[in-house]
Structures are given as C-alpha cells and as structure tokens.
C-alpha cells in the first residue's frame, strides 16, 4: 500500500471543466479500492466550498504573504479524503478555475497554481505536520507542474509521477513571473523550467517527474513526434524510458444508461429498443421535429480547434441537406459559438446548438443520439467517445490518440469479426468526415447491423479496474527506483 497525494486543479463532482475533472473525480476512488491511501489535493474554489458540508481545518500557513489553510473534506459519494488549499486572496472569487466569468484567463493564474504547488510540496515534505506523508506525489497537467521541479531539490522526497492530460496547455509565463514567484534559480535553465526564455509550469513535470504518463498508449507514442508534441518532442524523447500511456477509465455508475438519473427512459444492452425514446424526448425538449426514424448526431464539447471544428464547420452545409438532425452542446471560442449558432438559426429543423455547460443535458444527448461526433485533431484520451460507446451511440472519430485506442472502425472486416463499434476517419479532412458520416448513415439503414454495432460498443469495458492497477504498479516502480 502506498500513500499517494493526487494533485489536480479540478475533480468531479466538486468542480469540472473537462476530462481532467472526470479523471480526478474517479481515479482516486479506484485507487482507494486498490488499497492505496490516497489524498486528493484541490484548490478551495467557492464552487467547491459551496458543495461540501463538513470541513476540518488541518493546518495554517502562508505563501507570498497570503494566508492559506489546508482543510479536509470528502469527495461527495465516496470515501476519498480531499484536502483543499484554501487561499481566499486568489481562489475566493466568482468564475472558473482558469478563467473569469467572461472566459478571460485570470491575471494571477500563475500565482494561483504556484500556491497549490507550494502547498503540495509542503505536504510532500511533511512541513505542515499533517501526520501523513506521501510515498508518491501524482501531479496532473501544468497546474501542478512545479511540484516535481521543487521536490527535485530535496534529497528525502517522495517519488513523483506527472500525468499529461493535454500537452496543448502548458502554463507558459514571462520570465518575470519566475522572478515574481521567487522560484529557485537552480531551476532556471533549458533543461529545467525555462522554455525559450519563458517559464513553463508543464516543463516542471516533464523534466523533473520520476515517471511521466499520458492518458492513452497511442498518445504516449504520438507526443514523441513533432506533429503532436507542441515543441516538447526533444525533451520527451530523452525521457522516453520513463513515459507510459495508461488509458482512462470512466465512472461506470454515473455514465450508465441503465441507471442514469438524468434520463427519463433508461435502457441497457438488452433493452436497446428503448433508447429511441430518449431521442424523441430530446427532440421535444429542444423543439426539433419529432421523428424517431431520423438519425441524430450528438456532440458535447469544448468548442476549440482541437475538437475538429475546422472540418465540421465546412461540412455543415452539406450535412444539413441530408435527412438527419445534429445537436451540439458546448462552450469555447466565441467565433465558433457564433458560427454554429448562425447555422442553427438558418436550419432550425436540422441543427440545435446550445451554448453553455450543462451536465444533465450532456447525458441526455449521449442517450438520445445515434452517432457522436468527435473528429479531434488530437485527443490525449477523450472521454465522450467512451460515454458514447457505453450509451450505444456510435462515435465518429479521427484516427488519433485515445480515439484510435478505443474506437474500432466499422469496416466490412471488423463488422464481420464482431469488433466494430464506431467510425474512424481515414484522415482529418472535410471530405473524409463527410464520407464517414455517409457510411454511418448507410449502415444506420440496416437495423440488424446497426444493432450489432451498438451491442459491440456497449459490451466494451472502460472501468478503472485495470488502469488503476497500472497506476499502482507504476507507483511501485517509481518508489523502487527512487
Ligand atoms: P476535454 O477534456 O479535452 O474537454 P474529454 O472528452 O476528455 O475532453 O472530456 C470532456 C468532458 O467534459 C466530458 O465529461 C464532457 O461530457 C464534458 N463536457 C464538455 N463540454 C461540456 C458542456 N458544454 N456541458 C456539459 N459537459 C461538457
């Protein structure tokens, strides 16, 4: 049994903006089941404090002359102990973890997460006398990237693991920020936190963690190549021996069409004929023409280039002339929000675009749709295609990252050998997207084959069971090599 400090900037159901929230809200539970003594460290955002009832004060300290308390609570619905870094000066304000209510990144975002990192380091070194010192510190994405770097300066330290959920977000700041944050000068060099004259939080993880993981085996290979590495292929190649890919699991209780509390019409593999009732219910809810036979394509996503908007938008005119309905729920870059809303306005019978973040609606779209659109340019793991598989909603994906690891194309061969569970684009292009959707629509007209594909999709296992075991083994390996 290892003591694991798991650091994240979000964790469902306390706070979530994307996939990291889902992972940090479910992997610690799976680790606990594997007898790991795990503590989840999170910033005490107001949204988090509003959701918890019992809290216990554990320690008082300060960073950058700002008072900080470490308080203890539980991850709702589980026994996972959560330690919150409560620093009102930087966290107690309305807005998201990374941006204000207008989507603008926080001016003091570097300070916010430097404080999270300092608290993690103090816990890791037992400086706060919490009566619990981790064997392993597991960091996630750039927000906790300074932790392995700062810990590397101490000889008696826990092992460090750094997980890349998305290499595109790197926490890059001016050199002045390095000075302002009083970071140790020995970390400022090209093999350290410096990234072409700037400070990179992410590099702290990539350069200093004992072990690096990504959230799918395929993405672990891809990031060694310039196309997917965001400039880090050199460093990552050097670290290749310490990099591995562990596929994300999903919370199979929360994302279960048989018990989903947000669905009026629950269904499972054996009662798949009930799935269509979710489609007609959603059509009513969203004022789309009610028609149980029209194929529906769903998408729930951050509206950013990564998610394939550059090939989706040019396809829309052609797609919307076909007999189908498209439902898109998302928020993101304003120009995508505007363009999509304009298309929806022009084609009210075919396209619904809901700009916003809406967890219950996300579940209803998964259940209602026949197909799920996710032609990402890159995708470290991707969770929505996994939710789609579980809901018998066949994903249409690009052949990258975790999408390639989890979606098996409905080629004739794969249909015949009973493995096909979705549709994979030949390449990331509008032509390929349209051809793939066309193929999906053709198969949709063959109910027996479609039903088989849905059954294949719903039979896959995406529990945390195996992946949590891989993390436990990796912790052990990191400890043995320390
Ligand atoms: P990423 O982490 O890159 O955003 P993932 O597919 O790994 O993509 O995870 C996205 C998670 O965020 C999923 O749980 C998805 O349902 C959720 N999500 C994204 N946008 C929205 C939204 N507008 N409303 C509700 N849930 C959303």
pLDDT at 380: 97
17: exposed, middle or buried (Cβ count in 10 Å: 0-12, 13-18, 19+): middle
| CB 216 less than 6 A from any atom of ligand 1 | no
Segment holding 414, helix H or strand E: helix 412-416
Q: How far is the CA of 375 from the centre of ligand 1 (A)?
A: 14
Q: How many CB atoms lie within 10 A of CB 321?
A: 10
Give me the pLDDT at residue 21, please.
97
Residue 88 in any domain: the answer is yes
Give the residue, out of 302, 328, 377, with the most ligand 1 atoms within 8 A of its beta carbon, to mutate for a pocket test: 302
- Asked if residue 288 and residue 242 are part of one domain, the reply reads no
The residue whose CA is least distant from atom 20 of ligand 1 is 301
Asked if residue 18 has its Cβ within 6 Å of ligand 1, the reply is: yes
Q: Global pTM?
A: 0.94
Cβ 467 vs Cβ 246: under 8 Å: yes
- Planar angle of CA 32, 245, 118, nearest 5 degrees: 60
**Ligand 1 close to Cβ of residue 439 (< 6 A):** no
How does pLDDT run across 102-115, given as a tens digit for each residue? 889 999 999 999 99
Residues 360 and 476 in one domain: no
Same domain? 171 vs 283? no
CATH number reported for the structural domain that contains residue 176 in this entry: 3.40.50.2000
Query: Which of 8, 17, 22, 377 for mutating ligand 1's site (highest number of atoms within 8 Å of CB)?
Result: 22
Co-location of 184 and 35 in the same domain: yes
Q: Are residues 436 and 468 in the same domain?
A: no
Same domain? 164 vs 84? yes
Atom of ligand 1 nearest to the CA of 329: 23
380 lines ligand 1 (CB under 6 A): no
Say yes or no: 469 and 455 in one domain. no
Within-domain flag for 260: no
Quick one: 343 and 370 in the same domain? yes
Pair (282, 358) in one structural domain = yes
Indicate whether 194 and 82 sit together in one domain: yes
Is residue 289 domain-shared with residue 172, that is, in the same domain?
no
Each residue's pLDDT tens digit, 299-319: 999 999 999 999 999 999 999
Query: What's the pLDDT at 478?
Result: 98
Structure confidence at residue 465 as a pLDDT band (50, 70, 90): very high
Question: What per-residue confidence (pLDDT) applies to 372?
Answer: 98
Mutation choice for ligand 1 from 383, 386, 390, CB with most ligand atoms inside 8 A = 383
Q: What is the mean pLDDT of the chain?
A: 97
Q: Average pLDDT, stretch 6-33?
A: 97
Could you give the number of structural domains in the chain? 2
Q: What confidence category does residue 47 fall into, taking pLDDT thresholds of 50, 70 and 90?
A: very high
Q: How far is the CA of 16 from the centre of ligand 1 (A)?
A: 9
Q: What range does the domain containing 429 cover?
A: 269-459
Range of lowest pLDDT (49-58, 202-211, 236-245, 343-352): 49-58
**Is residue 264, in this structure, part of any structural domain at all?**
no
Q: Residue 105: inside a domain, yes or no?
A: yes
Establish whether residue 393 lines the binding site of ligand 1, counting it when its CB lies within 6 angstroms of any ligand atom.
no
Question: Are both 401 and 472 inside the same structural domain?
Answer: no
168 belongs to a structural domain: yes
**Which CA distances in Å does 241 have to 7, 146, 197, 244, 343?**
24, 21, 27, 8, 48
Residue 258 lies in a domain: no
Token couple for 121? 């380091």
Considering the domain boundaries, does residue 262 fall inside one?
Answer: no
What pLDDT digit, counting tens, does each position of 264-294 carry?
999 999 999 999 999 999 999 999 999 999 9
């Amino acid at each position: 049994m290892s003591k694991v400090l798991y650091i994240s900037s979000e964790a469902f159901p306390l706070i979530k903006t994307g996939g990291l929230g889902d992972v940090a809200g479910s992997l610690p539970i799976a680790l606990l089941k594997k007898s790991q003594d795990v503590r989840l460290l999170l910033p005490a955002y107001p949204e988090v404090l509003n959701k918890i009832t019992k809290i216990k004060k554990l320690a008082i300290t300060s960073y950058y002359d700002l008072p900080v308390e470490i308080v203890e609570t539980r991850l709702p619905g589980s026994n996972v102990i959560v330690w919150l870094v409560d620093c009102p000066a930087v966290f107690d304000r309305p807005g998201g973890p990374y941006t204000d209510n207008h989507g603008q990144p926080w001016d003091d975002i570097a300070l916010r997460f430097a404080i999270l990192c300092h608290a993690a380091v103090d816990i890791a070194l037992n400086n706060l006398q919490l009566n619990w010192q981790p064997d392993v510190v597991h960091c996630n994405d750039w927000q906790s990237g300074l932790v392995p770097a700062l810990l590397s300066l101490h000889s008696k330290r826990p092992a460090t693991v750094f997980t890349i959920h998305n290499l595109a977000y790197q926490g890059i700041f001016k050199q002045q920020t390095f000075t302002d944050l009083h970071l140790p000068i020995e970390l400022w060099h090209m093999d350290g936190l410096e990234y072409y004259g700037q400070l990179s939080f992410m590099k702290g993880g990539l350069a200093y963690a004992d072990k690096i993981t990504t959230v799918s085996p395929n993405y672990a290979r891809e990031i060694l190549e310039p196309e997917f590495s965001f400039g880090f292929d050199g460093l990552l190649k050097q670290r290749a021996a310490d990099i591995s890919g562990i596929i994300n699991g999903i919370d199979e209780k929360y994302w279960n069409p048989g018990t989903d509390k947000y669905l009026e019409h629950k269904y499972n593999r054996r009662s798949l004929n009930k799935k269509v009732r979710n489609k007609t219910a959603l059509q009513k809810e969203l004022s789309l023409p009610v028609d149980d036979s029209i194929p529906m394509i769903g998408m729930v996503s951050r509206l950013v280039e990564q998610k394939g908007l550059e090939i989706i938008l040019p396809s829309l005119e052609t797609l919307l002339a076909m007999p189908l309905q498209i439902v898109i729920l998302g928020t993101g870059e304003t120009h995508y929000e505007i363009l999509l809303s304009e298309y929806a306005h022009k084609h009210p019978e075919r396209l619904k675009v809901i700009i916003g973040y809406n967890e219950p609606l996300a579940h209803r779209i998964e259940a209602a749709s026949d197909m799920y659109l996710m032609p990402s340019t890159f995708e470290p793991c991707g969770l929505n295609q996994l939710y789609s598989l579980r809901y018998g909603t066949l994903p249409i994906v690009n052949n990258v990252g975790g999408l390639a690891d989890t979606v098996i194309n409905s080629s004739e061969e794969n249909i015949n050998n009973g493995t096909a569970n979705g549709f994979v684009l030949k390449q990331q292009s509008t032509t390929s997207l349209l051809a793939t959707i066309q193929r999906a629509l053709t198969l949709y007209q063959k109910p027996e084959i479609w039903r088989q594909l849905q059954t294949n999709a719903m039979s896959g296992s995406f529990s945390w069971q195996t992946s949590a075991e891989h993390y436990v083994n990796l912790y052990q390996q990191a400890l043995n090599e320390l």
